[in-house]
Amino acid sequence: MDKRRNRPGTCTEDMCAWADMPLDDMESTLAVEQYIQQLVRKDKNDYEAIVALPAGQDDMQWVYEHLRRFCLELNGLVLALEGHCTAERCGQMKATDEWLYFCAAHNPPQECSAIDYSVHTLDGAGALLNSKKWFPARSNFSKKARQHFESIARRLYRIFAHAYFHHRSVYDEFETETSLCHRFSRLSELHQLLPASQMLIPISHADDSASDISDISSSRTSLKSSDGESDA
């Protein structure tokens, strides 16, 4: 059986150079994670194919593994923001100037600089997704898990939104390379992780030209939730 390993001494260009494998043929307990990795390696910009739910696959496990992947890849955007998004320049976490977000890493939630909010959010999301209390297994999910998925998605999306509205050149370069926000937005739409009113970045998909959310103000609502979200 093919071990699908990068052997010591493998050149960078030869990494992961094994043949693609159908999800059903993957026998590992980490099969879904490995399958998503395979799709991203094949073409990271083909976000429709990456988020498409395979036949017979549990949708909760599919969303869970994608959220874990988003936490990993969003670190790249936060790193790209270094030097552009500082505590001095971005003392508050905002998307548009009408939306101010409080950081749930504090008790009670409080204002954070945008870069600290992003780091705290990724740390918190990663800790929650790896929590044995809420996710004792990566293939068996309680009804409560759905609420956690929505909360994590809502907070992670704010990192994209801040970069888009306040550091557009950094966002555009990162998105051109990864299509990560397109992938995140599409998964959120397909599995209803975020309401349309909170998806502030204009995104259009190949099969849905009407999904460009260009009129942000018409769908915006005033929010004040337990995780410190405010439209101040």
28-53, pLDDT tens digit by residue?
A: 677 899 999 999 999 999 999 999 99
Looking at per-residue pLDDT, the higher value among 156 and 223 belongs to: 156
Query: pTM for the complete prediction?
Result: 0.81
Give the mean model confidence (pLDDT) for residues 162-183: 97
Q: In this structure, what is the dihedral angle of CA atoms 187, 192, 194, 195, given to the nearest 10 degrees? A: 130
pLDDT of residue 228 exceeding 60, the answer is no
Inter-residue contact 11 to 41 (CB < 8 Å): no
* pLDDT value for 10: 62
